[in-house]
Amino acid sequence: MATYVLVHGGGHGGWCYGPVARILRAAGHEVHTPTLTGLGERSHLLGPHVDLDLHIQDVSAVLHHEDLREVILVGHSYGGMVVTGVADRMAGRVGRLVYLDAATPANGQSLHDVAGPVIDAARPFGEVVDGVELVLLPAPGAGAFYGVTDPGDLAWMDERLTPHPWKCFEQPLKLTDEEALRAIPQYHIVCTSTLATRDPALIERARAEGRLWDIDTGHDLMITEPRAVAGALQEVATR
């Protein structure tokens, strides 16, 4: 039995992993799907204090208080920033690190540094509420921005997506123990369409070492292809 901690991306919440989590739990695995502060069912905690560092603390606290070890730590999209920070700070509890069509930052990089054109396109449609700049504002059919096309999935997402603080996207990641972080085996599950935008050396090395899966679907692949994602995650546990 493996232990998974699945971290969502911008504007989402732990809810987005529901289909994947059900498959993994049915196979006997332990699965945690924390929601980051200010998002999803924790959107009432939104405020000027919410940033990347706080989200790293959110997930680190789950590992600590649940006493989780040899965790398969998974981050989707912006969640790649978060899980990199968590693995850096809690390397002794992380057995494998999985980037699910996610940002793969270096020390000192922000999400804006990694994926500037994509999030810059969303920023003009944001707003400032109580002094907090918010982006990825929910709207009918907003799931299409994440590559979701099924009407049922889009309606499900319409009821759950929440705005995301821009501050999280511009704060640089500060690593404290890169040697320990790099010693953790890293895996990549990506959308076929995003392969060309990724670091070629990183992708080719992962492919050569059997640490790469590409799935031909939209960015929210945990929603559009939950069985393929769950299958890849179970393979990660056996590698």
Instruction: Catalogue the active-site residues.
Output: 77
Return the HEC string of 69-127.
CCEEEEEECCHHHHHHHHHHHCHHHEEEEEEECCCCCCCCCCHHHHHHHHHHHHHHHCE
Give the number of other CB atoms < 10 A from CB of residue 167. 18
User: Side-chain half-sphere of 143: how many Cα atoms within 13 Å?
Assistant: 23
CB burial string 130-148: b at 16+ within 10 A, e below: eebbbbbbeeeebbebbbb
Query: Cα 91 to the chain's mean position, in Å?
Result: 18
In 3D space, the residue among 72, 75, 144, 139 whose CA is nearest the CA of residue 111 turns out to be: 75
- What is the maximal distance between C-alpha atoms in the chain? 49
- Beta carbons of 75 and 94 less than 8 angstroms apart: no
Closest CA to 115 of 80, 155, 68, 163: 80
Kindly state the tokens that stand for 1: 């039995």
